[in-house]
Chain A
Amino acid sequence: MSEFYSDKDVQREVTELQGKSATAARLFDIRRIIGGLFVVYGVIVTIAGFTASDADIDKAEGVNINLWTGLGMLALGVFFLVWLKLRPVAPPPPDVVAGDEARE
């Protein structure tokens, strides 16, 4: 390392690593996980709402809070799954990857 660790060193090093990076190609889409988890939670909590006892409802100020929260979570989960379905991630354009590889 010279006296100045310069901007150009970092640019070169990081650009090189970015060329070899596997995240863009291999990392899964988080929308699937959020959607899946919230659908599961939504179903569980909604069922708890349908089977709520009077004590549960009294505790929550007369609101069937499990039912409403469950439906809300279900809606969020479905939203993420629909979004994933409608707008899947485009795979990275192959020419960019090839270009980076050639530069190494």
Chain B
Amino acid sequence: MSNAILEVRELTTKYITRFREDIYAVDHVSLRVEEGKSLGIAGESGCGKSTLALSLMGYYFPPLYYTSGEIIIDGRNISGMNSDDVRKSILGNEIAYIPQAAMNALNPTQKVIRFIEDVIEAHDPSVTKKEVYNLAKGFFEAVGLPADVLQKYPVELSGGMKQRTVIAISVILSPQILIADEPSSALDVTSQKMVIKMLRNLMDKGYIKAMIFITHELPLLYNVTDDIMVMYAGQIVEKASAREAVFDPLHPYSKGLMGSIIVPEEGLRDVKLTAIPGVPPNLKKPPSGCRFAERCKYVRPECKGTSVPLRDVGNGRAYRCIIPETELREMYAREARKNV
């Protein structure tokens, strides 16, 4: 087994609402990202994937609170550290985070280079402006951005260019791992592709050692990441390689999700899209048994009542369902025959 960049064990975090209710948006999540690998997190809106991204940084601010579990980055446990230390020594240096609206983070009244100066000075006050400029110029060219972006104001850049600029800035300190939460959702397809190409480039050239990519767009996730983790109601319901997750999902929720993929490719018109009826459960009072039971086509009486553990089936695959692997596959095959 190669070197793990990020290892998370049983991480649980919660939101505390204004009415003092606890919402466990990340519930005993364990994951492992190895060097040179990228992990994708899929799920509907409200399933906890963005909260997981925030929680992974070890930097909590109200209303999000840490409850239990461990986050180990490159052998260093950061889950016990206080938020200030995390902000100073972990964020940027070890973990970089890009939220969806990251491109709006650039100060419109400052040139891009000023922002980079701030970032670098915050971590090393001794550098001169000249050094920063040379560093930034070299870095931008290496990651495929024109160096003249540095001397521009954010308003002079297109949305896609802004997003790529922010990504470049966030990894300029060579963090171990990059967490990207829907980095391209607000962009048109061409800009999205450029962002993806840049992320790939960052991985290939070793500017970042690992990546966690979060999106609800499954075709995109499939093309970007090595492994995919499907989340539902704060829990991991399936872990698999990208190919297996898309073409051979085990958990009924993953199956439903993959059945809703639309891509402009031959054969799509003959497939019947699947829909999952109902809405995700309220996390203030999650159901005691399988959280997906309410919406599941294959629900059995024993699904409700006791919680379902994540079942490890080897090869890094795991899923959270009481029905055995082979039986699930048989059911899916029957279903597919019926639909033809």
* B is bound to A: no
